Structure 1
Amino acid sequence: MKKVIFYLIENPNEASDSGVLFHEQLACEQITQAWQAKQRILVACQNQTQAERIDEYLWQLNTDLFVPHNLVGEGMKGGSPVEICWPQKHSSGNRQLLINLQEQFPEFANVYRDIIDFVPANEQLKALARARYKSYKEAGFMLKTIPIMCAAK
């Protein structure tokens, strides 16, 4: 059964000290957990800027949490266990998990059994997430929503 887990962010305080948005930080936590579970992961970003921000944030994690990763097209042939892409530069590597940070429904979603997606608190991004939710449902994915409260600053 194909499934999507949506993390519903319930607090509008999105910014962090590192410049990474709360849902991006949450995505990095999910990347770390999936890597520790020996999964190969594709992180689909909205654009190259976001991809580079995720890449940099992963490099800054504690060495105990090191996640072998690269931007698509860099690194070894076949990519590292975690590959970060954006619409203009997509990966075709074999991955078990898709972590979607794109605003639109990823057209390649059907090749994945497991997807993690996010519903940021921003109203415009929330509306786009609702559209993705509907598209996943129409594509036959089982959907689950997990509310997350980000810490107040």
Structure 2
Amino acid sequence: MALATFYILDEKHDKPQQQMLETVCSLASQFCQQGMKVFITADSKAQAETIDEQLWQRSPDHFVPHNLIGEGPRGGTQVEIGWPGVRPAGHRNVLINLAEEAAIFAPSFAQVVDFVPCDETLKQQARERYKIYRMAGREMRTLAIEESSVI
């Protein structure tokens, strides 16, 4: 059964957005180590570029092969980073969604990772995405962001 995991951001963390981006990079690395192909949908092209830069900053021992949509080899690398309005170059196992809307192509992924922000408006949008994934028949899982090593 297809899985959707929602990570709840820590309201007590002094920089929850940064915590989320670090978790995205860590999860992408973990999925890659398992041989999975990942598509990260950022909230904007600027956020996609930030994630790209953070992945480049990882130590050589923890390098994650990645590219922004439209860059890199045909078909993309193990991790592709996009933004609303673009699609992955090829088949991917995992979607990490940072966009406010559920990706219309989410049903093609075996696993979806999403986040529940601290802001009330953004929390409501996360609840709507949760409903969409649940109605699509996904097995739902909700974890605190500190549990992100449990994939």
> Is the TM value for this pair above 0.5?
yes
Query: Which contiguous aligned blocks of 4+ residues in structure 1 show a shift greater than 3 angstroms?
Result: none
Asked whether the 8 Å contact 1:14–1:121 carries over to 2, the reply is: no
- Deviation digits for residues 61-110 of structure 1, max 9, x if unmatched? 11110000000110111111100011133224111111111111111110
- Deviation digits for residues 20-70 of structure 1, max 9, x if unmatched? 622121111100111111111101111100100000000001111000000
Structure 2, unaligned runs of 5 or more: none
Query: Which of 70, 75, 79 lines up with 2:76 in the alignment?
Result: 79
2:31 is aligned with 1:34? yes
Higher mean C-alpha deviation, range 87-96 or range 53-62: 87-96
The two structures have a TM-score, normalised by structure 1, of 0.89
Letter in 1 for 2:15: A
Asked whether the 8 Å contact 1:12–1:122 carries over to 2, the reply is: no
Structure 1, unaligned runs of 5 or more: none
2:118 is aligned with 1:121? yes
Counterpart in 2 of 1:22? Answer: 19
Alpha-carbon distance change, 149 to 139 in structure 1, aligned in 2, over 3 angstroms: same
Asked whether the 8 Å contact 1:14–1:23 carries over to 2, the reply is: no
Counterpart in 2 of 1:13? Answer: 13
Question: How many aligned positions are there?
Answer: 147
- Alpha-carbon distance in 1 for matches of 2:42, 2:124: 18
Asked whether the 8 Å contact 2:69–2:89 carries over to 1, the reply is: no
